[in-house]
Structure 1
Amino acid sequence: MFLIAGLGNPGRQYEKTRHNMGFDTIDELIDRHRIPQGGIAHKGMYGKGMIAGEKVLAVKPLTYMNLSGDCIAEFVNYYKLDPESELIVIYDDIDLEPGQLRIRKKGSAGGHNGIKSMITRLGTQNFYRIKVGVGAKPQGWDLADYVLGRFSAEDREVVDIAIKQAADAVEMILEKGIDAAMNHYNGAGKKKKTQE
């Protein structure tokens, strides 16, 4: 079984904000694969279903971003999952252009409080992650204001495509493995530039 965790903040006021890329991708997967909602447990909303022939738990922590690890660690422990091979985390990244995807097997928190919380609670930084770019914070802006803000109409179009691609990437990881997904998505932007 795989745990697919999308990070974000619960509540209507946070819908469609930059910080909710994970939640938006989970919603896409739930719709696409008709995953029934199991309700609330372990401080998160979850659904159990099948994606690419694998049993999955699709989870949105309800702890707010900075305590995401509290929810994810409870799910990992309850279902006796190995976070290094059975956990996929989707979240926003300000170091990537809006709509750019980056897939990693492991890494530091990179200043992301949700990931920081997960590393602390899980005791490892070796877990699969899909980062969805939201663009860099403009000079003079407060980081919290920026990530809790919404996209321009132009950026939103690009990001909506990226959310679908992030869901595709989850499917590819489950079907073909993390290396195949990294090769496919991480190289895409570079290849286009060299062809031009």
Structure 2
Amino acid sequence: MGLFDRRAGKGAPFEWLVVGLGNPGPKYARSRHNVGQECVDLLAERHDAPLKAGRDEALIGEARFPSESAADPTRVALAFPITFMNESGRSVAKMVRRFRIEAPEQIIVVQDELDLEPGVVRLKAGGGLAGHNGLRSIAQHLKTQDFLRVRIGVGKPPSKERGAGHVLSQIPRRQRDELDVAIAVAADAVELIVGEGIDAAMRDIHGR
């Protein structure tokens, strides 16, 4: 039985798994590396799906997104691993089984992106990992890179030597305001992907 097999879990399957990447603990809260986690927090608030500790090394909320094309709302698992970033894949693989996710294209990973200017949001379906440790861990555990990504730009550090410090440090006030707007746009992007598909979501978000 493969990882992406609806027979692997129990109960009704979920149509989507949304994973926000970050590091656990107050030390890393509101850092650049945790913008994915903040996006999932916002989605949980929007959809009245409080995040609770689960058995899959993650905080998880079970949401219902309204659907224009179906009579019933869409079941969406909102989660962020409570492992450190470079071990995220272990938690994601457990959730794929439990929520009976059928294909990697039903997984949306919300992440920080050094290669985008602060505040820019871009979507991506599969492809390279751009050296992101969280994405690398997920790809290793799922044995595929075909999951969807919502990328929130945090900008490059002043030098390569300061890369880790850049993403883990607290954010200046001006850039914090930009990222708060971007996190809201990223949450919009997740809702568009679930409701209308990745292509329609790209057209909307990339046109803003």
TM-score, scaled to structure 2: 0.87
1 CA distance for matches of 2:136 and 2:103? 15
What amino acid does structure 2 have at the position aligned with 1:138? P
Is the CA contact (8 Å cut-off) linking 1:69 and 1:122 kept in structure 2? yes
1:1-196 → structure 2 map (5 Å cutoff):
1-52=15-66, 53-139=73-159, 141-188=161-208
Report the AA paired with residue 15 of structure 1.
A
Counterpart CA distance in 2 for 1:17 and 1:36 is: 22
Across the two proteins, how many residue pairs are aligned to each other? 188
Shift of 1:140: 5.5
Q: CA deviation at 1:54?
A: 1.1
Q: Which amino acid aligns with 1:61?
A: P
- In 2, Cα distance between the equivalents of 1:61 and 1:70? 9
SS in structure 2 opposite 1:119?
A: helix
Instruction: State the one-letter code of the partner of 2:89.
Output: G
Displacement of 1:33 after TM fit? 0.9
Unpaired stretches in structure 1, ≥5 consecutive residues: 189-196
Deviation string 1:60-97 (CA, Å, 9 cap, x unpaired) is 10111001100001110222213422111100000000
Query: Compared with structure 1, are the counterparts of its residues 83 and 18 closer, same or farther at alpha carbon in structure 2 (3 Å cutoff)?
Result: farther
**Runs of 4+ residues over 4 Å off in structure 1:** none
In structure 2, what is the Cα distance between the partners aligned to 1:134 and 1:150?
Answer: 12
CA deviation vs aligned residue, 1:34-80 (integer Å, no higher than 9, x gap): 10334222111111121233111111101110011000011102222
Q: Bigger shift: 90-99 or 45-54?
A: 45-54
Contact 1:38 1:48 in 2 (8 A): no
Q: Which amino acid aligns with 1:186?
A: H
> Matched residue of 1:142: which SS?
helix
> Which residue of 1 is the match for residue 69 of structure 2?
none
Specify every segment of 5 or more residues in structure 2 that has no aligned partner in the other structure, as ranges: 1-14, 67-72
Give the TM-score normalised by structure 1. Answer: 0.92
Distance across 1 between alignment mates of 2:186 and 2:102: 22
